[in-house]
Structure 1
Amino acid sequence: MDSGRILSFVTFAREIHVAPPLQTVVLLPPLFNMPKSQLQCYGESVYCIEEDILSKCSNGKNNLERFVNVVAWSISTNRPVIFGVAPFNPVLGETHHASRGTLNVLLEQVSHHPPVSALHATDEKENVELVWCQSAIAKFHGASVEAVIHGKRQLKLLNFGENYEMNAPRLLIRFFPVPGADWVGNVRIKCKNTGLEAELCYKGNSLLRLGGSSRFVKGRIFYSLSMETIYDIEGHWDRIVTMKDVQSGKKTVLFNAKEAISKLETPVLKDPKVLLPTESAFVWGEVNQGMLNKNWEKAKAAKKGIEERERKLARERKSIGDSWVPKYFNLDYTEDGGWECTPKHKRVPPAPIVVSP
C-alpha cells in the first residue's frame, strides 16, 4: 500500500466530532474539502462516541427505559457542522469498515446518481443491529440550501425483539445574510413492538441570528395509541438535553454531549493486509496526503484522477449495458420515492480499522 494512503489513516479522524454539510454532486476543489469521505462521517456518528449509549439501549430494565436510551442515542448521532467545508462525495462501491469494541460497522456507497449510502452494524455481545439507508437530496432556495435526508434508520434490540425506526433531521445551510448551517425539522422515533413513540423538533438560529436558539431540540415521548405524554424533552443537542416526567415533574439529563463525544480516540489501522481496496481512507489517501501537506496542486490532481476514473468506468458499463451491483447490500426503490437497503450478510465481521472504546 502507498505510504501516503497509510498516512491518511492516522489523520482521517482529526475532525471526528464534526458532521458533513451535505452530499451533493458539486465538484469542489480540495481546499473546500475536509480530509475524509462522507461515508466516514456517517460511520463516525455511530462508532465515534465516548459514552456507550448503544449498550444502555440493550441493557435497559424495561421497554420504557430502553426507549429513552434509544432517543438519547438518536440525538447523539447529530454532530455540529462546519460551514464552508465538505467531505468527499463517495465513489460508487466505496466502503468504510471500522470496529469499536464489539461493535462492527460497515458502510457502502450503493448508488452514485442519486447518492445513496447504506450502513450495517452489529454487536454480537449486546445483540444489537443497525441498518441505515439514506440519500441526501439538496433543494436550493436562493440564499440557502436545504438537504433532506431520505431513508430510514433502524436500531434492533434482538434480545427483546424490538425494532426502532427513525428518520433524520434536515440540514439547512444559509449563505445570506449570516452564513451558517443547522440541523432542523422533525424526527420521529417509533417502536411498534412496544407502542412507544417520540417526536423531536430541531430548531436553528433565526434568519439574522436574533431571538433564536442555536442547536435547540424539543419534543416528547408518548404512547402511540393513547397519545399520552410520558416525558417532555428540551435542551441543546450539542450541550445538555433534559427530560421531565410529566406526572412527577422530575427532571433528569437525557443526553450530555460533552460526555458523549469528547475525548475520542483516533482510529488505528491494525491489519493492512485485509484492508479493502475500496476503503474510504485508501481511495482518498493520496488526496488527503496532499491536503495535509498543503500541497494543493497534488491534492487537486489526485482528486481529479479519481473523478475521471469513475466517469470512465460509468461509460464502460453503459457501453456494454452492464449494471453495477452493490457487494454488501440489496438495493430496492420504494413506492414513496425512497430507497431500501437490506444487508446481504447477517453479521458484520471485525474490521482492520479499530477505535479504542
Structure 2
Amino acid sequence: MGRATALCGRSARIVSFLSAVPCLSGCTLQPAAERRMSDQGKGSTSTPAGAPAPGSDTYKGWLFKWTNYLKGYQRRWFVLSNGLLSYYRTQAEMAHTCRGTINLATAHIDTEDACNIVLSSGGRTYHLKASTEVERQRWVTALELAKAKAIRMMNDQSDDSGDEEPTTQSDRSEGIQGTLKTLISKLDDLSTCNDLIAKHGAALQRSLSELEALRVPIEGGEKIKGVNERATLFRITSNAMINACRDFLDLAEIHSRRWQRALQYEREQRIHLEETIEQLAKQHNSLERAWREAPTLSSNAKSFPLWGSERLQKGEASDEDEDTEYFDAMEDSPAFITVTATENTQHSGASGGPANDWSQDNVSPGCNESGKSLQPLRRRRSRIPDKPNYSLNLWSIMKNCIGKELSKIPMPVNFNEPLSMLQRLTEDLEYHELLDRAARCDNSLEQLCLVAAFSVSSYSTTVHRTAKPFNPLLGETYELDRLEEFGYRSLCEQVSHHPPAAAHHVVSQRGWTLWQEITIASKFRGKYLSIMPLGAIHLEFHSTGNHYVWRKVTSTVHNIIVGKLWIDQSGDIEIVNHRTKETCQLKFSPYSYFSREVPRKVTGVVSDSEGRAHYILSGTWDDKIESSKIVQSTKGGSGSEGKQKTVYQTLSPKLLWKKYPLPENAENMYFFSSLALTLNEPEDGVGLTDSRLRPDQRLMEEGKWDEANSEKQRLEEKQRAVRRRREAEATDGYQPQWFHKRTNGITGETNFVYKGGYWEAKDSQDWSMCSEIF
C-alpha cells in the first residue's frame, strides 16, 4: 500500500511538472496520453484556441523588451520555435518582418528579479520583462527546454558530419529506398505491438475488475486494490505509448510518401537532364560537322545571331521552359499568371502555323542592309587610365545639401565619372541593333516588343555606375558619329541650365529616328538620392510611320552616407504606338529585402488597340529581356488583393536582348562598358562646344583630380559671369544653337527638337556660330 501510494505520488509530480510547461498561447501542456483521454472523456477532439499540436515546440506570447532610454520597455510579440527566439512589433508582422532573432543553442539565460529575463548570445543581449512572475517562469522553462533541445540537435548534427566516403547519386537513391523499406518494416512491427498491448491491457483490466468483485478477506482486498492501482498506472502508460506509436505511425507514413514523391521527382529530373545534355551534344556535333563541311561563307549567308537574337526554333527548343512562371501584376492592371504551353498546345495554339512567328534577321550587327560586312574606319580605344584611390569626407560636403537640387550642389570631381550627362544620354544607344531589327519587322506587335527591350536596355549600364556624371555647361554639345560603322548619327545639346535640360536627336540610315528632351529633377534625402527624368522619348520608323512614345523611370542611389552605394530603378513605363494605338505596359519592381522576387525584375504586357494581350515580357533590367507569345487567356480566381487573375498560356520564351559583358578591368575604369570607354576619346573635327574638349573632364580622366577641381571651379564661375551679363543686357534669354522649341502634335507638349545644320557645319568645319564656353 505504501509503495503504491508513493508511486501514485511520483506520477502526480510528473503530471504536475509536465502541466507547468508553457504552450503556444500561455496555456499549459498536458501529456499526450492524458490529453487524449480527457478529450475522449469529453467526447470531443478539439483543442483549446492557440494550443500547439502534439509534439509542437513553438511558444508565442507578449513580453516587454528594453529598447532605449527614451522609450524604455516596449511590448513585443515573441515566438520561440526550433531553438530560435524571434520578436515582432505585432502579430501581423510575423508574415513579413522579423525584428530580431537569437539562437538559444549558444545563448546564456539569466534572471535578474521576479519578472526579468536576460538573454545574451554572440554580443547580442535582450533584456525582457514578463507581466507576472508566473509568466516569467513559464518563459524560462520553455527557453531552457528549447536550449537543451537545440544543443542536442547541434551535437547530433556534428556527430553525423564526420568524414565519410563520397557517394554517387545511385548510391544515395538506393540508400533512401533501403531506409524507406526498413522504416515500413519497423512500422509494421510497431503496429502489431500496438494491437497486442491494447488487447492484453483490456484483458488485464477485466480480470482485475472481476477479482475486485469477489468477496475476499480485508487484507486480500487491500492487496487487490494495490494491484488495481498499479494496473491503472499501467493502463495510463500503455495508452500513452499507444497514442505515441499512433502519432509516429501517422507522421512516418506522411513523410514516407513525401520522400517517395521527392525521390521520384529527382529521378525524373535526372533523366530529363541526361536527355537534354544528350540532345545538346547531338546539336553541337551536327553544328561542328556542318561548319567543317561548309566550303566558305557567302556574302548573303545568314550569320549566327549575336546578343539579342532569337532562340532555337520550336523543334529544337529546350524543355527547361515547360515550367510554370508567375509574374507580378502591374499597378492599374489586372493580375495575371503565365503558363508555358506544352508542345501539343503550341501546335494547336499556333493554328497550324509555325510556332516561331518572329521574322528572321538576315543582317547582324556590323553589317549593312545588303549583308556586306563593314569594317570600322578607326580602332576605338578599349581602356582608360585607372581610377585613382582618393579619400574624401563625404559628410562634410553633403550635410548642408539635404533637400537641395542635385544640380545646385557644388560637387568636387571625386564624386564624378569622366563623362558628362550628354554622354550618359548617348549611352542609350548601346543596343541600337534592337532598333535596327525592329525597323525590319513587318508585325507591329513584334516591333513593339523590340522597342520595349530597347527601353529596358538603356538601364543596364547603370547597375554599377553610382558615380555622378558632369553637369553640362549651357550650350555644351556632344556628337556620336557612327554613320559608317552602324549607320546612325547622334547629337546632344544642353538647352537649359536651370532646370537642367538636354535635347537629343538620332537619325539612322537603317530606318529609324529617335529624339528626346530630358529634364533631370533630383532630390537628396540624406540616406538616398532620387533622380526623376522628365520628358518624353520619341521613336519613329521610316517605312511604316509607327511612332512610339515613352518616358523613363525613377533612379535611386542608396547608402549615400553609410554603406556601399547601390542603384535601383523603379516605376512604370507605358510605350504607345500612336499610329496603331498598341501599347506595352512595363513594370520595374523596386528592390525589397523581404521580397522573394528576382532583384531588378521587369515584367510587361504587349496589347493591341482593343486591349487584348499578345505578348508577355519578362527579365531584369541589368541582364536580359525575353518575350512569350500568348496563345490562350482565361479568367482565373481572385488573388490576395481581391483582383481577378488572368491566366495566360504562352509559347516558350524567346530572347530579345542580352547585356554585353563588361570589359576586362572594368571595376578600375568606373565600370564603363565598351561603348562608354570610347565616348570621351578625342576626335578631330568635332564642334568647339563638344564634351570631349571640356578640360576638367579630360583632367579627371587622366587622373589629375586636383587640377580637375580647379578647372571645374573656373568653368562654373565663367558660366555664372555669362549669365549675369545676359541678365544685365535684358536679352530674351538663351537660345540653343542646334535645337528650337516646337509643339508636338501627338503629345501636345512643347519641347526642343533638332533644327538641322550641325552635320553640315562639321562637313565644312565652320564653327563660327559656336560660343566659347570652355
Secondary structure of the equivalent of 2:622?
Answer: coil
Shift of residue 139, structure 1, vs aligned partner: 3.3
Q: 1:108 and 1:316 mapped to 2: Cα distance?
A: 22
CA distance in 2, matches of 1:77, 1:26: 26
The one of 712, 733, 736 equivalent to 1:326 is: 736
5 Å-filtered alignment, 1:301-316, equals: 301-316=710-725
The 1:70/1:84 distance shift into structure 2, 3 A limit, reads closer
Structure 1 residues 271, 220: CA separation in 2 closer, same or farther (over 3 Å shift)? same
1:285-344 per-position Cα deviation (integer Å, ceiling 9, x unaligned): x2234323433221111111111110011011011012110111113699x997511221
Distance change (3 Å), C-alpha of 1:311 and 1:346: closer
Amino acid across the alignment from 2:522:
A
Shift of 1:104: 0.3
Instruction: Report the Cα distance in structure 2 between the residues aligned to 1:350 and 1:257, rounded to whole angstroms.
Output: 36
Specify whether residues 238 and 348 from structure 1 end up closer, same or farther in structure 2 by C-alpha distance, changes over 3 A only: farther
Distance 2:682 2:728 in 1: 40
Secondary structure of 2:678's partner? Answer: coil
Partner of 1:39: 422
Alpha-carbon separation, structure 1, partners of 2:475 and 2:699: 23
Query: Within the alignment, does 1:64 sit opposite 2:473 as a pair?
Result: no
Q: After superposition, where does 1:152-167 map in structure 2 within 5 Å?
A: 152-167=536-551
Q: Please, what TM-score do these two structures have when normalized by structure 1?
A: 0.82
Kindly tell me: are residues 77 and 188 of structure 1, through their superposed partners in 2, closer, same or farther at Cα, counting changes over 3 Å?
Answer: same
Contact 1:55-1:126 at 8 Å conserved across structures: yes
- 1:181-222: CA deviation from partner (whole Å, max 9, x where unpaired): 11110111000212211011112322x476453221111101
Native 8 Å contact 2:466 2:567 kept in 1: no
Compared CA separation, residues 342 and 270, structure 1 to 2 (3 A): same
| SS of the residue 2:654 aligns to | strand
Distance 1:117 1:310 in 2: 17
**Corresponding position of 1:89:** 471
Task: State the distance in 2 between where 1:211 and 1:142 align.
Answer: 28
Give the aligned partner of residue 521 of structure 2.
137
Q: Which shifted more, 138-147 or 182-191?
A: 138-147
Pick which of 136-145 and 318-327 moved more: 136-145
Task: Quote the Cα distance in structure 1 between the aligned partners of 2:449 and 2:527.
Answer: 38
1:195 paired residue number? 581
| Structure (1/2) with the larger helix percentage | 2
| Match of residue 456 from structure 2 | 75
Cα separation, partners in 2 of 1:10 and 1:278, compared to 1, 3 Å: farther
- For 1:302, the aligned partner's letter is E
For 1:58 and 1:136, the matched residues in 2 are separated by 30
Structure-1 separation of matches of 2:739 and 2:573: 25
| Paired-residue identity, % | 24
Matched, 1:218 2:630: no
Structure with greater strand share of residues: 1
- Deviation readout 1:125-180 (Å, 9 max, x if unpaired): 22311110110111344532322211000001021111110111111122277642
Q: Distance in 1 between matches of 2:758 and 2:708?
A: 36
Alpha-carbon separation, structure 2, partners of 1:320 and 1:119 = 30
Give the conservation status (yes or no) of the 8 Å contact 2:419–2:680: no
Alignment match of 1:253 (pick from 627, 652, 655): 655
Distance 1:26 1:97 in 2: 27
SS in 2 for 1:290: helix
* 2:265 corresponding residue in structure 1: none
Counterpart pick for 1:106 among 491, 500, 503: 491
Deviation, 1:76, is: 1.6
Structure 2: how far apart are the matches of 1:189 and 1:347?
Answer: 30
CA distance in 1, matches of 2:758, 2:702: 38
Q: Counterpart amino acid of 1:295? A: K
Is the Cα–Cα contact under 8 Å of residues 406 and 523 in structure 2 kept in the other structure? no
Aligned residues: 329
TM-score (norm 2): 0.39
Structure 1 residues 13, 294: closer, same or farther in 2, change over 3 A? closer
Residue 5 of structure 1 corresponds to which residue in structure 2? none
SS state at 2:599 partner = coil
SS of aligned partner of 1:278: coil
Between the aligned partners of 1:76 and 1:183, the Cα distance in structure 2 is 12
Distance between the aligned counterparts of 1:242 and 1:136, measured in 2? 30
> Is contact 1:154-1:164 (8 Å) kept?
yes
**1:121 is aligned to 2:533:** no
Q: Which residue of 1 is the match for residue 678 of structure 2?
A: 266
Q: Of 343, 346, 357, which residue of structure 1 is paired with 2:754? A: 343
- The structure with the larger Rg is 2
Give the conservation status (yes or no) of the 8 Å contact 2:513–2:541.
yes
2:448 aligned with 1:54: no
Gaps of 5+ in 1: 1-8, 16-21, 353-357
Which of 407, 411, 424 is the aligned partner of 1:28? 411
Segments of structure 2 that go 5 or more residues without pairing to the other structure are 1-379, 387-404, 632-648, 664-672, 764-774
Question: Does residue 612 of structure 2 align to residue 228 of structure 1?
Answer: yes
